[in-house]
Chain A
Amino acid sequence: MNKKNDVSGMSRKNSIKFSVIRALAALAIALAVAFILIFVSAEGANFSEKMSASLKALREMLVSPLFRKNGTFSVKSFTDVLAQMIPIMFTGLATCIMFSANQFNLGAEGGIMLGAFVTALVAVYWHIPGPMLIVVAIVMGALATGLMMLIPAVLKAKLGVSEMVNSLMLNYVIMYMINYLMNTYLADTSKGVTQTQPFQANAIMPQLVSNGSRLSWGFVIAIIMVILCWFFMYRTRWGYGIRMTGINQPFVMYSGMNVAMIIILCQVLGGILAGMGGGIEMLGRYSVYNWIQQPQYGWTGITVAILAGNNPIYVPLAAFFMAYLTKGCTLMSTNANVPSQLISIIQAVIFLFFAAHQFLAGYRQKLVVKSAQEELAQKEAAERSGEK
């Protein structure tokens, strides 16, 4: 995807310059679209009232996630945002790895739900002493999701069935099956809403801060996974195989790597990461399982992967941005009465421009021509001095 832009005759400096300008332009367009939508939905009798209401809403979205009304930095808000990052870092990493191999598996959504559910079951019913319970619960959630991903992965690798359609179908199947199990067997009938029995006390994950942000040690695990994923993708032969498959699958086959194995591997890993994210989210921030709708973390994870250019190392940055924006939209909805779902429109716009090869292509071509001319001039100068 974004990688294709690298086939350029540009010097490294120009190349970086272009990437930064392009990213900023995409963000600016997204914010402009957001502002227009805010303006349309703002209350006010006339233009200036609407304008001031919109500006207030925009302030809520862009500034309030980290700063108090008086403009001072809020540590609590900051840890809130960090806590928000955890699940989308996992779904983001999962998507990075799957998309790197050009496997458009959109199952991180169902994956995080399944992982959360299985982890929750272990946390409620399996009596394991001490913190081992946390580990076992999360591992079980991750494994279950990894196994689930075998379905689209094997079908793609062996039969060529679209992993995209299958993973989307599985998202629905998972959601309904969980709801069925909840309704029929698991729900705590003493409560008015659908939820499981509470987790055992030793299943609750320790918190990093005690300010009520629910920022658990899961954050640290997420960062460790980011580093591990980077090493996996850029420093092991399996990650190499995954990346090459994404660039040119026939090349990988011709080179003697096992394409089917790579296709399966990347999706199973994606499943494990998504499932892990679900488990950590459960034990870090909840005391019962109560997801009956898709949590949308999977879709945000796709945006995170696109923003990160499928490189795990940029996932925290992208996740921070998305968590910040999500919080901003929530604040905007409570304080300025703009529906929080604005986030999905902003997300879609950023997403579209980030993944657009030809976005600012004219500007890029200028840089390329410049680079080529510089190079030619250099060569000629070298030849001339050589002749002398």
Chain B
Amino acid sequence: MNIFTADFFFSIIRIATPILFATLAAVIGEKGGVSNIGLEGIMMMSALFGSLGAYWTKSWLIGLLLAMAVGLLESLVMGFFAFNLKTNIILTGTAINMIGSGGCLFLVKVITGQASTTALITKSLQIPSISIPLIRDIPYIGKIISGHSVLTYIAFLLVWLTIVLLYKTPLGLNIRSVGENPNAASSVGVSVLKIQYITIGIGGILAGMGGAFMSMYYAMGWSQDMVAGRGFIALAAQSMGGGEPVGSMLAALIFGFASALGIKISATGVDSNLVAPIPYIVTIIALVIFALNEKRKEKQRHSSAALQK
């Protein structure tokens, strides 16, 4: 059986998309000194409101915007506790994740009266796919690159935009200085609090887009536990990518690859429970490899060979 079909690579990109959104949120967050483990919960809530919004207004675009708004709102709440009330950021994120799992169920029951899913998204409300002229006609490659959802292209475009934001704009300069030396930033009148809010807010919007992708494209509607750790995997991707946008994107693609492989395997009749943990195991292994590599570099610097230079 040939695994590496165009379909397979297509699915890697599709699967990596929501992780990529959250990964970029993590990259920008870490640059600004904000470790956001609440991305998981934010994606959950955004996924719910994205699908609800689309259903209510009969417009996928408004659904997407609502998801982004909810992501922003949640991240600002996080910011209030973490920055203003000085709650440990990890605990703040954990609380947001609690709201993301239990709170979503509460809201689903209150709003729709349904139990644990909303089968609200029909084909017409799904985030549209784009078939790219010319590129789609390239053999093999065309099938991989063309035909993805709008959000997928936006996600990869955002990698580039993230680089521009961080390294070419005043805001990026402020984010990096707040992350590296907040005292330096505040001493020249950069409001650390404001930059931190902006940092976490951008993360919330990005995670919101990831959530919308989950419930409005990846699946038809919201269901319990649908984000399934993608927010956490994004944190791992960020650290594997060395905190830089391109590296982290590649890491997100590796997870896409692992998941796609899992799906391929389970298609051959293997119990899905056996392949479902693959991305999580890959995360652990990848983090270990990354850390070993860092350690080796460290050692090299200390070797007596460095003296010869």
- A interface residues, Cβ below 8 angstroms from B: 1, 37, 40-41, 104, 106, 151, 155, 159-162, 164-166, 168-170, 172-173, 176-177, 179-180, 183-184, 296, 299, 302-303, 306, 339, 341-345, 347-349, 351-353, 355-359
Quick one: given A341-B105, A348-B99, are A155 and B283 in contact (CB under 8 Å)? Answer: no
CA separation between A347 and B239, bound complex, in Å?
30
Contacts A180-B273, A356-B86 aside, 7 further interface pairs with beta carbons under 8 A come to A37-B106, A165-B236, A184-B271, A339-B105, A345-B106, A348-B98, A351-B95
Asked if A169 contacts B280 (CB within 8 A), the reply is yes
B99: chain A residues at CB < 8 Å are 344-345, 348
With a cutoff of 8 Å between Cβ atoms, the chain B residues found around residue A161 in the complex are 287-288, 291
Please determine whether A162 and B288 come into contact, CB atoms closer than 8 angstroms.
Answer: no
Complex A-B: 14 CB contacts under 8 Å: A155-B291, A165-B232, A166-B287, A169-B232, A173-B280, A177-B273, A183-B271, A339-B105, A348-B98, A352-B85, A352-B92, A357-B86, A357-B87, A358-B85
What is the CA–CA distance of A69 and B98 in the complex, to the nearest angstrom? 31
Contacts of A303 on B, CB cut-off 8 Å?
98
Select which of B84, B239, B271 is within 8 A of A358 by beta carbon: B84
Please determine whether A177 and B277 come into contact, CB atoms closer than 8 angstroms: yes
A180 to B276, CA, bound (A): 10
Name the A residues within 8 Å of B13 (CB-CB): none
Contact status of A168 and B232, CB under 8 A, knowing A173-B277, A344-B98: yes
In the complex, are the beta carbons of B284 and A151 less than 8 A apart?
A: yes
Complex: A169 Cα to B295 Cα, angstroms: 23
Bound-state Cα–Cα, A113 to B229, Å: 17
**Residues of A with C-beta under 8 A to B288:** 155, 159, 161
State how many angstroms separate the Cβ of A225 from the closest Cβ of chain B: 24
CB contacts (< 8 Å) of B84 on chain A: these are: 358
Pair A356/B81 contact, Cβ less than 8 Å: yes
CB proximity of A291 to chain B, nearest CB, Å: 14
Tell me whether B96 is interfacial, beta carbon within 8 Å.
yes
Q: Are A169 and B96 in contact (CB under 8 A)?
A: no
Could you say which of A166, A183, A184, A296 has the most chain B C-beta atoms within 10 Å of its C-beta?
Answer: A166
On chain B, the residues within 8 Å of A339 by CB distance are 105-106, 109-110
B109 contact set on A, CB distance < 8 A: 339, 341
Known contacts A164-B37, A169-B284, A173-B281: does B98 contact A347 (CB below 8 Å)?
yes
CB <8 Å contact, A341 and B106: yes
Selected from A151, A183, A352, the residue in CB contact (under 8 A) with B87 is: A352
* A-side contacts of B229, CB under 8 Å: 168-169, 172
Partner of A345, one of B91, B103, B271: B103
Beta-carbon contact of A169 and B283 below 8 Å: yes
